[in-house]
Amino acid sequence: MSRTTSHRPLIAVLTGAGISTDSGISDYRGPQGLWERDPEAQKLVTYEYYVAEPEIRRRAWLMRRDAGALRAEPNSGHLALVELERSGLPVRVLTQNVDGLHQKAGLPERKVFELHGTAQQVEYLRCHARSGMAEALDRVAAGEPDPACLVCGGVLKPATVMFGELLDPVVLDRARAVAVACDLFVAVGSTLQVHPAAGLVDIAVAGGARLVVVNASPTPYDALAEEVVREPIGTALPALVRRIIAGE
> Cβ(105)–Cβ(156) under 8 Å?
no
Q: Please name which of 193, 185, 197, 200 lies closest in space to residue 219, comparing C-alpha atoms.
A: 193
Q: What is the DSSP letter of 230?
A: -
Q: How many helices and strands (H and E) does the chain possess?
A: 9, 9
Write the CB contacts of 4 (distance below 8 Å, at least 6 apart in sequence). none
Crossing angle of the two packed helices 54-67 and 133-141, in degrees rounded to 10: 100
Count of residues in the chain: 248
Q: Please name which of 200, 199, 190, 192 lies closest in space to residue 237, comparing C-alpha atoms.
A: 190
Cα atoms found within 13 Å of the Cα of residue 248, Cβ hemisphere only: 7
How do residues 66-76 score in pLDDT, each as one tens digit? Answer: 877 788 999 99
Domain boundaries, the chain: 1-25+74-116+166-248, 26-71+119-160
Structure confidence at residue 150 (pLDDT): 85
Structure confidence at residue 152 (pLDDT): 86
Q: Please name which of 197, 186, 162 lies closest in space to residue 241, comparing C-alpha atoms.
A: 186
**pTM, 2 dp:** 0.89
Write the CB contacts of 5 (distance below 8 Å, at least 6 apart in sequence). 183
Q: Please name which of 134, 153, 126, 155 lies closest in space to residue 51, comparing C-alpha atoms.
A: 155
pLDDT range class, residue 5, cuts 50, 70, 90? very low
The CATH number, out of the four listed (3.40.50.280, 3.40.50.1220, 3.30.565.10, 1.10.10.350), of the domain defined by the range 1-25+74-116+166-248 = 3.40.50.1220
Distance CA 179, CA 198 (A): 11
How do residues 108-138 score in pLDDT, each as one tens digit? Answer: 999 999 999 999 999 998 888 899 999 999 9
pLDDT cut 90: percent of the chain above it = 76
Catalytic residue among 7, 116, 128, 195: 116
Residue range 26-71+119-160 forms a domain whose CATH class is alpha beta
Distance CA 137, CA 26 (A): 19
pLDDT range class, residue 42, cuts 50, 70, 90? confident
Write the CB contacts of 209 (distance below 8 Å, at least 6 apart in sequence). 12, 179, 182, 183, 184, 185
116 catalytically annotated: yes
Our CA dihedral for 168, 173, 176, 180, rounded to 10 degrees, sits at -170
Arithmetic mean of pLDDT, 202-229: 97
